Amino acid sequence: MNPYQQRRQLLSQQLDQNSVAIIVGNKEQIRNLNIKFPFKQDNDFYYLTGFNEPDCVAVIRPGHVQPYVIFARDLDQEMEVRFGFRAGLKGLKTNHQVDESYPIEQFESLIVELFEQRTNIFISDNHGVYQANLYHWLSASARDAKFDSIKAHRSIHQLSPLLAQMRVIKDHHEIALIKHAVDASVAGHIATMQASRVGINEGQLSATFNRTISDFGCNEVGYPNIVACGDNAICLHYEDNNSDCDDNKLLLADMGGEYQHYTADITRTFPINGKFTPPQATIYNLVLKSLDAAIAQVKPGAHWNSLYETAMAVLAQGLLDLGILRGSFEQVMADESYLAFTVHKTGHWMGLHVHDVGAYHDQDGAWVKLTPKMVFTIEPGIYIPSDCLAVEPQWRGIAVRIEDDILVTDTGYQNLSIKAPRTINDIEQIMQD
SS3 125: coil
Instruction: For residue 27, give its domain range.
Output: 3-166
Q: What total number of domains does the chain contain?
A: 2
The per-residue pLDDT for 34 is: 85
CA–CA dist 199, 239 (Å, integer): 19
Residues 175 and 159 in one domain: no
Last residue of a domain, one of 147, 166, 185: 166
Does residue 263 sit in the same domain as residue 381? yes
Same-domain pairing of 204 and 133: no
Q: What is the pLDDT of residue 146?
A: 62
- pTM of structure: 0.96
Tell me, yes or no, whether 161 and 278 share the same domain. Answer: no
What percent of the chain has a predicted confidence (pLDDT) above 90? 94
pLDDT of residue 251: 98
CB count in 10 Å sphere of residue 69? 22
Question: CATH code at 216?
Answer: 3.90.230.10
The residues near 418 (Cβ < 8 Å, ≥ 6 apart) are: 404
Same domain? 239 vs 299 = yes
Clarify whether residues 316 and 392 are in a common domain: yes
- At residue 145, the pLDDT reads 52
Burial track 300-323 (b if 16+ CB lie within 10 A, e otherwise)? bebebbebbebbbbbbbbbbbebe
Q: What pLDDT sits at residue 352?
A: 98
Domain stop point among 139, 166, 193: 166
Domain identity same for 94 and 157: yes
Q: Let me know whether 293 and 402 are in one domain.
A: yes
Last residue of a domain, one of 148, 166, 184: 166
Same domain, 69 and 157: yes
Q: What is the Cα–Cα distance from 298 to 51, expressed in whole angstroms?
A: 34
- The burial class, CB within 10 Å (0-12 / 13-18 / 19+), for 367 is middle
Q: Residues 291, 145: one domain? A: no
CB atoms within 10 A of CB 127: 12
CA atoms within 13 A on the CB side of 296: 9
Residue 14: which CATH number? 3.40.350.10
Give the chain's residues under pLDDT 50: none
175 and 276 inside one domain: yes
Do residues 12 and 158 share a domain? yes
Please list the alpha-helical segments (H only) found in 84-235: 88-95, 107-115, 134-139, 160-168, 172-195, 202-214
Q: What is the pLDDT of residue 310?
A: 98
The sign one gets for the Cα dihedral 290, 294, 295, 297 is positive
